[in-house]
Structure 1
Amino acid sequence: MKTLIVSVGLLAATAFSAFAAEPAKMVDTKMGKVLADAKGMTLYTFDKDTMGKSNCDAACLKKWPAFHAAAKAKAEGEWSLVKAADGKEMWAYEGKPLYTFTGDKKPGDMTGDGVGGVWHVAK
């Protein structure tokens, strides 16, 4: 009986973790589906990043804040964690670190797309 209870508990824990919320969501925009944070702010990728590594330095992060992960966040599926220049963990989607843009003032803004030819909405 004790084994059965432990097994059911493990099964339930596994099932609930499979339904853990993803760190960002896909939203419909005039540019098609793009990634946005929980507040609806557009997420961006930086062409100068390498797979699984952020190359946005401290000065860059002032204009392009890292999409930070919660303290106990766990990578899963196409979502991974990388270190930002500020030393904190940030989310990456399919190996590409994600950022917001200080020029975006409200959910749905995408004013950072194409900046410097190296910033793009994350899709």
Structure 2
Amino acid sequence: MTFPHHFSSAASRGPVRRAVLATAVILCGMAGLAGCGKTISIGDTAPATPSSSSPPATAASGAGNTALQVVDSTAADAGLTGTGGTVVGAAVQEAPPKWVQLSAVTSPSLSDPHLININQAALYRFDGDNADPTHSHCNDACAAKWPPVTIKQGGNVYLAGVDRDEVGAIRRDDGQVQITVGGAPVYRFAGDTKPGDLNGQGVGRTWFAVGPKGERVTG
């Protein structure tokens, strides 16, 4: 996989209803992919002592089913191109993509590895999000400015320079499945309009590029 000149691959150096995660390692039978992957399932947290007068809680659409499949391979290895992934810019996806690529790279302004998607859009984390359990606090107007990296239920996540054990998912308040890395929900920034932009870096002192283990990258 190749990147624009301002990026260099770092692959060679290298959880309204609150959701919970369950992970299971499975064998991959995907043609053309040599590595194994893991499934990540999302289930709703049931009340500890439900009231007998209250109707039973219903799961969000798709809850309890496989949320995503993490594949030890790149999208390019699977013969995919950027047309299937999230895009650079402000538009919130009307339909989540079937697959997402997470790649660790370095750039002139950030020497430490940080994540981009298949179209070289920088990815970010928000210090205002909950870590335990993981929960996104960026919704509505915030999500328009910081579009969450969402994926279709059962979609594939391809990796380059990212450990599959760091990749997970949460059910957002709007029901969509959002990718997490190291437990941190991952976003794009509407102010990034072309590959290599890092205009969201340090905004409000709460938004930072996200590293391959979900860490904030400030270098």
Q: Bin the TM-score by the shorter chain.
A: 0.7 to 0.9
More deviation in 85-94 or 75-84? Answer: 75-84
Mapped contact 1:66–1:84 kept (Cα < 8 A)? no
Aligned residue for 1:3?
A: none
Deviation at 1:62, TM superposition (A): 0.5
Aligned residue for 1:55?
A: 137
Q: What fraction of aligned residue pairs are identical, expressed as a percent?
A: 30
Mapped contact 2:27–2:36 kept (Cα < 8 A)? no
Deviation at 1:83, TM superposition (A): 2.1
Aligned counterparts of 2:102 and 2:35: Cα–Cα separation in 1: 18
RMSD: 2.4
Gaps of at least 5 residues in structure 1 are 1-9
The 5-angstrom pairing of residues 37-48 of structure 1 reads 37-48=117-128
Q: Decide which of 88, 102, 108 is 2:190's aligned counterpart.
A: 102
Q: Decide which of 136, 157, 170 is 1:82's aligned counterpart.
A: 170
More helix per residue: 1 or 2? 1
Aligned residue for 1:13?
A: 29
Gaps of at least 5 residues in structure 2 are 1-25, 38-71, 75-99, 158-163, 212-219
Aligned residue for 1:35?
A: 115
Provide closer, same or farther for how the CA distance between residues 89 and 11 of structure 1 changes in structure 2, counting only shifts above 3 A. closer
Residue type at the aligned position of 2:171: K
Residue type at the aligned position of 1:39: N
Deviation at 1:11, TM superposition (A): 6.8
Aligned counterparts of 1:12 and 1:36: Cα–Cα separation in 2: 25
Aligned counterparts of 1:16 and 1:27: Cα–Cα separation in 2: 21
Provide closer, same or farther for how the CA distance between residues 12 and 94 of structure 1 changes in structure 2, counting only shifts above 3 A. closer
Mapped contact 1:43–1:121 kept (Cα < 8 A)? yes
Aligned residues: 114
Aligned residue for 2:146?
A: 64
